[in-house]
Structure 1
Amino acid sequence: MKKLPLLFLSDSNTSGAISREVKAGRVRKIGPRLYTTNINDDPAYIIRQNWLQALSLLLPGCVVSNRTALESRVSPAGRVYVTGEYPRSLELHGTKFIQIKGPPPVEGDTPLLGIFMSSRARALLENLTPSRERSGGELKNLPRELIERRLAEQLNVEKEKSINRLRDQARLIAPQLGLEKEFAELDDIIGTLLRTRKATLADPIAKAHQLGAPYDPHALEHVEALWSVLASNPYKYCPTSSGSGPSFYTVAFFDSYFSNYIEGTRFQVDEAKEIVDSGVIPTIRPADGHDILGTYRVVSSLDNMRQTPGTAEEMIALLRARHTDIMVGRPDKRPGQFKKETNFAGATRFVDPDLVQGTLMQGFGMYKSLEHPFARALLIMFLVAEVHPFDDGNGRTARAMMNSELVAADETRIIIPSVFRNEYVASLKRLTNHLQPESFISVMSFAREFVFNVSFEDYGTARLQMEECHAFDDPADDKKLLIPNNLST
């Protein structure tokens, strides 16, 4: 007998051969005329994981429809919804295949394994039809709020041309499906998202489009993961001893120096101090020199660093102004202007340009709700880093926004020494990729404790203490950052 697929049906021509395979233990029966070559796994698992193959055998020629067409999986209640010539229901090991009488395939529906997948236009129209709750408390259609969200997300990613093309296809097939009323509703939703109509929307992401401030829900999910931990835990106050006078400018220098090191702008520490003290940009590396000096001018201005935003608009204005000053030596990076193209860091894709302002404004509400300056500092820093609103200089600007919160509250700054860079970057990745904020909070808490224990009364003393703590060592040298007054090797 030729090699059998994972799932297959028996018929009069194959029943004898299949019986012999069953007796030999190479296949087993898991439904009426339905067999599998998987003799080990639970039949419920096999059906759920291979529902498309099972569907093509049980209900050939049907059209995957309603919520199944949009979710592309078995529903939470264990159901698969399709359209066919007559109503029918089959249940196999906890997965129920429900065929609803309805129109055959139309233009745009895609043949697959002997069945058809609804086009996105058809799926949206069908999901806008009235839906009565079935036994088990599930509707065959997704609620309108989720339809709005899916359309808003499509507009976010694929832009206006794509959603207009979808509307044109829905307009074409609606009469064939008898769904003209549903098309009118879909047309209203799309028009409202494009701000050419004024229908009432329920989904917050869709509403943001309607108001002209669309945002990235995935980035906000990451910010919210941090916010929920920051909002539910107490943090100690850590008053600074470098709030004014010479020590303020000394700590500001190291803030600038290490913030640039993280981004790859690397000078010997004494070279960087000479640039700051003299204001003279080196002729060999002028752009890098401007980075050091521009960052220092922001983080060493007591007037600037005591400014914190009271509104989302003020936050955006501060962000732009600080970025302008930090990136003044790199006009090609468009200082103070939000990005025009999506930026990346390795496999991480940051927020699309059209969603930058809306995402920042949404995140501001979480920032504003936090009371402790340490919590606000971490939230605003991560929000800016996660959005990455500029072509370049995002990290330096984010850390300037962070330390502004601390300076304004007379709290100790957070500085990430060179040797601590890997821990810092890894904690950000863990938060972005795995929604785990604890490591980020721990890393920033340790960095704050480090700064709190350094004496910044003069440059020489601070430099020596930091050197003893391995602060200037390369992360690749396998050295660990130590806390002053608690030195051990």
Structure 2
Amino acid sequence: MAVKNATNPDYSLVLYKELTSAQVRGVQRQLKAGGLKQIAKGMLSNLPEESWPALIARERIRVTGSLFPNAVISFRSAFNGGMPDQGVLYITHTYSRKVQLPGLQIVALKGAPPQQGDMPIQGHGIYYASEARCLLENLTPSRGSNKKAVGREEVENRLLTICKARGEHVLTALREAANPLANRLGMIKEFNILDSLIGSILRTRTSTLITSKGRALTAAPPYDSDRLEMFENLAAVLRSQPIHQADEVARTPQAMIHFAFLESYFSNFIEGTEFDIQEALEIVLSGKPMPNRPKDSHDILGVFRQAVTPAWMHQVLASGPPVETQLRKRHWDQMRERPEVEPGEFKLKRNRAGNTAFVEPELVRGTLTQGSLLLPTIPAGLPRALYAMFLVSEVHPFNDGNGRLARLVMNSELSVVGACRIIIPTLFRDEYLDCLHALSREGNPGPFVSAMERIQAWSAGFKYDELDAVIEKMKQCNAFERSLVQHRLLNP
């Protein structure tokens, strides 16, 4: 019985196991007088019966410790963090027994007592199974509609999550802890399964994994299954949703050069490479970097070169393994004057943008390959362009230049079908990035597709034959502004 104070005891839940003999006699008198009601043998309450399920749920650890002292929360209940599943809490005790309480059934299974690593739950005389014990128990055979164990597939998923979140060394430590424990628990067969699963995840033996995430990890090369699911969802939307596509407007050689310059200028501005537009124009016209800003100048020139050279302009993204070589060559050409970013070499460290963490380095090749296999299933033009751009952006395969490369890949898919390439003006930057984040973090492609459809139409609304005139017109449309609070992007 929890006591608030000597004069005002708490009778919401009274457990005989917690009382002295004198206290038991006192509450029995109250039971006879009607001040308390019996929930189960040795368990009383002064609360109305309709509140008992919530009471038992709140006090389930205390109740379980009272009924089954020195028991271990085990099997699927341990797997679920100590929470009941479908109203059932599984424990291991010295004997088997089922106790039905309001809103909760406690299923005690005969088994080994607390072992080294099992964690005592303070003050309740009950233990929580160690991670190694929990995994072994949940690989045991289980029959019936209410299975005590979650089974192999769920254990595999848990091991994959542990590996991703905490590292491979944690799996090795788990296996070392489970080996002697399996002998004490009589779970040798279960350990052999666990050993096989961990070995498969660590790629030290032939894979026995059955989940989609497991197959992705052990594929050759391995890939990011979560990203692939995201790519498949985007591809499905792009296949099924009608998307309006604007025709090419920069048709003369001069207009193409002007468009390529503005494309490069704004694409670099998105990444923080900021120049006055006349400074940027001087770099492009002269083909020489500014002496005081050589790296930023090369970024402008690298994007401009691929935006204006026919061989790059019309190079659609490959499908399957060739995509690796193609993107490495394209990146090398784009960043060849920036040796410090290792042009053409896939990243060795995971990169981030704000709260978004991109694909792990060891999964880059496989994720690009698997993701690119969806390209032929998507209609050519703007739908395929948006997919190609997001694929490169989401994988982020290189140390630097990924955003610019992704937009170049997108625009190549447009040029090859005679559609207008896309310019992302400065004032549209935040909306563009917000839509990418919504797709990356929430898996919602709607805002991204809609925004890119609108900005392509905006890009097609100018005449690019006279550069000074198109720059002035873009200024009138607020293209060069930064604050969405003070300005809105106007249509030409």
2:143 match: 132
Aligned partners of 1:29, 1:481: CA distance in 2, in Å?
71
1:2 match: 4
Aligned partners of 1:79, 1:240: CA distance in 2, in Å?
64
Q: Match of 1:312, SS?
A: coil
1:440 partner amino acid:
F
Candidates 440, 454, 475, aligned match of 1:467:
475
Aligned partners of 2:450, 2:281: CA distance in 1, in Å?
30
Structure 2 length-normalised TM:
0.86
**1:232 paired to 2:243:** no
Tell me if the contact between 1:10 and 1:18 (Cα under 8 Å) persists in the aligned partners.
Answer: no
2:337 match: 329
Aligned partners of 1:145, 1:406: CA distance in 2, in Å?
43
**1:103 paired to 2:108:** no
> How many equivalent pairs are there?
477
Describe how 1:57-68 pairs up with structure 2 within 5 A. 59-68=68-77
Aligned partners of 1:35, 1:406: CA distance in 2, in Å?
74
Deviation (angstroms), 1:334: 1.7
2:198 match: 190
Describe how 1:293-308 pairs up with structure 2 within 5 A. 293-308=301-316
1:10 partner amino acid:
L
Tell me if the contact between 2:385 and 2:410 (Cα under 8 Å) persists in the aligned partners.
Answer: yes
1:127 partner amino acid:
N
Tell me if the contact between 1:145 and 1:203 (Cα under 8 Å) persists in the aligned partners.
Answer: yes
Structure 1's 76 and 177: CA in aligned 2 closer, same or farther, altered over 3 A?
A: closer
Structure 1 length-normalised TM:
0.86
Structure 1's 403 and 68: CA in aligned 2 closer, same or farther, altered over 3 A?
A: farther
Deviation (angstroms), 1:37: 11
Tell me if the contact between 1:131 and 1:139 (Cα under 8 Å) persists in the aligned partners.
Answer: yes
Candidates 311, 317, 322, aligned match of 2:325:
317
Aligned alpha-carbon RMSD (Å): 3.3
Deviation (angstroms), 1:78: 3.6
Aligned partners of 1:216, 1:50: CA distance in 2, in Å?
41
2:80 match: 71
Describe how 1:139-154 pairs up with structure 2 within 5 A. 139-154=147-162
Q: Match of 2:345, SS?
A: coil
Give percent identity, aligned residues only.
38
Deviation (angstroms), 1:204: 2.3
1:487 match: none
The Cα offsets for residues 209-251 of structure 1, whole Å up to 9 and x where unpaired, read as 3334333334344434433432331212322122562222222
Aligned partners of 1:386, 1:32: CA distance in 2, in Å?
59
Deviation (angstroms), 1:130: 1.0
Structure 1's 31 and 390: CA in aligned 2 closer, same or farther, altered over 3 A?
A: farther
**1:343 paired to 2:354:** no
Aligned partners of 1:28, 1:265: CA distance in 2, in Å?
74
Does 29-38 or 428-437 show the bigger shift?
A: 29-38
Q: Which structure 1 residue ranges, 5 or more long, are not aligned?
A: 485-489
Does 105-114 or 448-457 show the bigger shift?
A: 105-114
Deviation (angstroms), 1:151: 2.4
Q: Match of 2:172, SS?
A: helix
1:85 match: 94
Tell me if the contact between 1:194 and 1:209 (Cα under 8 Å) persists in the aligned partners.
Answer: no
2:367 partner amino acid:
T
Does 77-86 or 264-273 show the bigger shift?
A: 77-86
Q: Match of 1:168, SS?
A: helix
Q: Which structure 2 residue ranges, 5 or more long, are not aligned?
A: none
Structure 1's 264 and 440: CA in aligned 2 closer, same or farther, altered over 3 A?
A: same
The Cα offsets for residues 353-403 of structure 1, whole Å up to 9 and x where unpaired, read as 222222223322344422243222222222222222222222112212222
Aligned partners of 2:94, 2:426: CA distance in 1, in Å?
68
Candidates 431, 440, 445, aligned match of 1:423:
431
Instruction: Flag the structure with larger Rg.
Output: 2
Does 380-389 or 281-290 show the bigger shift?
A: 380-389
Describe how 1:376-455 pairs up with structure 2 within 5 A. 376-455=384-463
